[in-house]
């Protein structure tokens, strides 16, 4: 199961959606070539092996570069100090105990010093006993480093969406049109962000392979964790033409500092974030790591 690839034939499909969020459009036809994609997201056990063999330190484990953050935000000096802690750490989902304004994500996301891939919810947490869960608290650089070590790469956005659809071209969900009843994907079941009954009993991440595969035999392509792609973020899909080719799958330099995440996560709820769909996409800065961001790897056919 661990490290298993599925060979996908490639082909033409309708990418995007005009029915939900504006960044998902316009719908357009895309062609992708054959490629291999991980049957599952990369797990804690797999990432642990990578770290032990290489000594790699993730972005969340490194000191916060306040100067870079100030530069990226268009500010400088001390004004960021009260907002961004200096100590290494990351964002941790913290459910509320009552309804809150869903326009303010700060109600449920907290910066926790010491949070990282091996301590996903803070220094007192660990990954003991969850070897087969998808690794989280992964920034784009971390996912890219792992992929390179594994002799692989990250998928392009086009490849990822083609794979997630599993042959169901233009379907709303990876399994068809039926809403998620908590058995099809690991998404929020209840009222966000204070009441979650869990999907198949899993309130946070679930072990990879817990939910049925799509038509290509890929598990958890939607729900569980968001997954990094190589695509540089744009507010709308860029239409292919002869001078501006679609993302090839090779990681490039982001001039805007943000990449495209795909797939949604266990925190997605219809009343807040109906993004556990193949067409859905989310903007994320490359240095961001949170408790619901992971990845899977791709490669060119052997």
Query: 149-208, pLDDT tens digit by residue?
Result: 999 999 999 999 999 999 999 999 999 999 999 999 999 999 999 999 999 999 999 999
Instruction: Give mean pLDDT, residues 138-149.
Output: 98
Q: What pLDDT is attached to residue 245? A: 39
The Cα–Cα gap between 165 and 279 comes to: 9
Q: How many independent structural domains does the chain possess?
A: 1
pLDDT-derived band of residue 3, with 50, 70 and 90 as boundaries?
Answer: confident
The Cα–Cα gap between 283 and 232 comes to: 9
Q: Which domain holds residue 2?
A: 1-302
The Cα–Cα gap between 75 and 89 comes to: 22
The Cα–Cα gap between 216 and 161 comes to: 12
Q: Work out the mean pLDDT of the chain and round it to a whole number.
A: 89
The answer to whether 282 touches 261, Cβ cutoff 8 Å, is: yes
pLDDT-derived band of residue 84, with 50, 70 and 90 as boundaries?
Answer: low
Q: What pLDDT is attached to residue 240? A: 63
Q: What pLDDT is attached to residue 302? A: 84
DSSP-assigned letters across all residues of 108-162: TEEEEET-BTTBTTSTT---TT-TTSBP-S--HHHHHHHHHHTT-BPPPHHHHHH
Q: What pLDDT is attached to residue 46? A: 98
Residues of the chain with pLDDT > 70: what percent? 86
Q: Which residues of 51-86 are buried (b: 16+ CB within 10 A; e: fewer)?
A: beeeeeebbbbeebebeeebeeeeeeeeebeeeeee
Q: What pLDDT is attached to residue 241? A: 55
pLDDT exceeds 60 at position 279: yes
* pTM of the model as a whole: 0.90
Please identify which residue in the block is written with the tokens 């303010």.
Answer: 104
The answer to whether 213 touches 1, Cβ cutoff 8 Å, is: no
Instruction: Give mean pLDDT, residues 71-82.
Output: 35
Predicted confidence (pLDDT) per residue in 213-268, tens digit: 999 999 999 999 999 999 999 999 987 653 333 444 444 444 449 999 999 999 99
pLDDT exceeds 80 at position 74: no
Per the DSSP assignment, residues forming a β-bridge with 112 are 90
For 56, 69, 127, the CA distances from 60, given in Å and listed in that order, are 12, 14, 16
Instruction: Give mean pLDDT, residues 8-35.
Output: 97
The Cα–Cα gap between 278 and 296 comes to: 15
* Token pair of 165 as six digits: 């659809």
Instruction: Give mean pLDDT, residues 259-287.
Output: 96
* Token pair of 10 as six digits: 């490639």
- Looking only at the bridges linking them, the beta strands covering 293-294 and 226-232 are parallel
Instruction: Give mean pLDDT, residues 1-11.
Output: 87
Which of 72-76, 105-109, 239-243 is predicted with the least confidence, judged by mean pLDDT? Answer: 72-76
Alpha helix locations (H) across 26-107? 44-54, 66-73
pLDDT exceeds 90 at position 55: yes
3-state helix, strand, coil in the chain (%, to 5): 15, 20, 65
Please identify which residue in the block is written with the tokens 């399994």.
Answer: 175
CATH number of the domain residue 263 falls in: 3.90.1580.10
Which of 63-72, 124-133, 205-214, 286-295 is predicted with the least confidence, judged by mean pLDDT? Answer: 63-72
């Amino acid at each position: 199961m661990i490290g298993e690839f599925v060979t996908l034939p490639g082909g033409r499909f309708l990418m995007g959606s005009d029915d939900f969020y504006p960044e998902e459009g316009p719908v357009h036809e895309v062609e992708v070539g054959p490629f291999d994609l991980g049957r599952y997201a990369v797990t804690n056990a797999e990432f642990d092996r990578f770290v032990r063999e290489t000594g790699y330190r993730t972005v969340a484990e490194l000191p916060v570069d306040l100067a870079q953050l100030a530069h990226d935000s268009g500010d400088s000096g001390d004004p960021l100090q009260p907002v961004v802690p200096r100590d290494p750490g990351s964002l941790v989902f913290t459910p509320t105990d009552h309804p809150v304004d869903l326009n303010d994500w700060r109600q449920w996301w907290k910066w926790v010093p010491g949070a990282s891939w091996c301590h996903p919810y803070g220094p007192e947490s660990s990954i003991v006993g969850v070897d087969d869960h998808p690794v989280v608290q992964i920034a784009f650089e971390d996912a890219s480093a792992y992929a390179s070590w594994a002799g692989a790469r990250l998928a392009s956005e086009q490849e990822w969406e083609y794979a997630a659809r599993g042959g169901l071209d233009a379907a709303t969900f990876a399994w068809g049109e039926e809403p998620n009843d908590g058995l099809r994907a690991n998404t929020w079941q209840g009222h966000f962000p204070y009441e979650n009954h869990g999907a198949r009993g899993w309130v946070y991440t679930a072990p990879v392979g817990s939910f049925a595969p799509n038509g290509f035999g890929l598990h958890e392509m939607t729900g569980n964790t968001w997954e990094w792609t190589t695509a540089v973020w744009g507010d709308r899909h860029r239409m292919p033409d002869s001078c501006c080719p679609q993302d090839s799958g090779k990681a490039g330099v982001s001039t805007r500092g943000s990449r495209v995440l795909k797939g949604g996560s266990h925190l997605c709820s219809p009343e807040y974030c109906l993004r556990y769909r193949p067409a859905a996409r989310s903007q994320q800065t490359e240095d961001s790591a949170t408790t619901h961001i992971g990845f899977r790897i791709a490669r060119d056919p052997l």
